[in-house]
Chain A
Amino acid sequence: EADIYQTPRYLVIGTGKKITLECSQTMGHDKMYWYQQDPGMELHLIHYSYGVNSTEKGDLSSESTVSRIRTEHFPLTLESARPSHTSQYLCASSEAKGGGVETQYFGPGTRLLVL
C-alpha cells in the first residue's frame, strides 16, 4: 500500500491569500509530482521533481511554486490564491527506475475552494 499523504484534505480560502499544500511520502521515492484536476476532467501536470533540489515545471504552472529540500517532502505554494485556482490538487510519487516510470502512487488529494 502506498504511503503518501496530503494535507489539508479540504481548504476554503479567500482571494489573495498565500497557501501551501503539503505532500509527504515514506517510500523513499526520488520522483514526485503535482497534478491539478477538476471533477471528471483530465490530470494536468503542474510541477515535478527528480530528487532533492530538483524541480521542473509541468504543462500547467498555475502560478505556483514547489520546493524539494527533503526526499520525502514536496510542498506546493500558491503565492496569491484566485478563484481560478479552485480545483483538486493531487500529489504523486514514483521510483526512479532505469526503464522509466511504471507506477505512480497518488495521495488522497487536496480540494481547494478559493472565494
Chain B
Amino acid sequence: GQSLEQPSEVTAVEGAIVQINCTYQTSGFYGLSWYQQHDGGAPTFLSYNGLDGLEETGRFSSFLSRSDSYGYLLLQELQMKDSASYFCAVCMNRDDKIIFGKGTRLHILP
C-alpha cells in the first residue's frame, strides 16, 4: 500500500538546524508537500516539491529525491515558535487523493 514514514519525534536546540526526513513507499504522485501544525491548531502549508531538488522559503527548505523515495524538511535558526508537528504529504496522480505521513513532533530546547 501507499505509506509515508517519518520519525515520531525530533528534539533540537534553539538557534540550531534540524532535518525531518520522510521516506515513502508509493509511486505515481505529483509531488511532496510539508505542513506544520501547532497544538490545538489546524495544519498550515509550508512547502511543496514537484521536482527533485531543493526548494527554499526563508528559514525552511524542502528536498525531494524520487529515485531514493526520500524527502526532507530543513529548518534553520530554530525558534521556540517552531515547536509543532510536521507532516509530509503526497498527492496521488491517479485520483488526487492526499496521503499524509503520521507526523513528526519537533521539540525545541532553549
- Mark A residues whose CB is within 8 Å of B: 31, 33, 39-43, 45, 48, 50, 56, 58, 90, 92, 96, 99-109
Contact = CB atoms under 8 A, between A and B. Distances in A.
Interface residues of B, number: 28
B102 interface: yes
Given A42-B101, A58-B97, A102 B33 contact: yes
A103 B36 CA distance: 12
A50 B95 CA distance: 9
A23 to B, nearest CB: 12
Chain B contact surface mostly:
strand
Q: Which 5 A-B pairs have the closest CB atoms?
A: A100-B30, A106-B42, A100-B91, A42-B102, A101-B91
Which of B29, B42, B96, B99: most chain A Cβ within 10 A?
B42
Given A104-B45, A105-B45, A108-B42, A99 B30 contact: yes
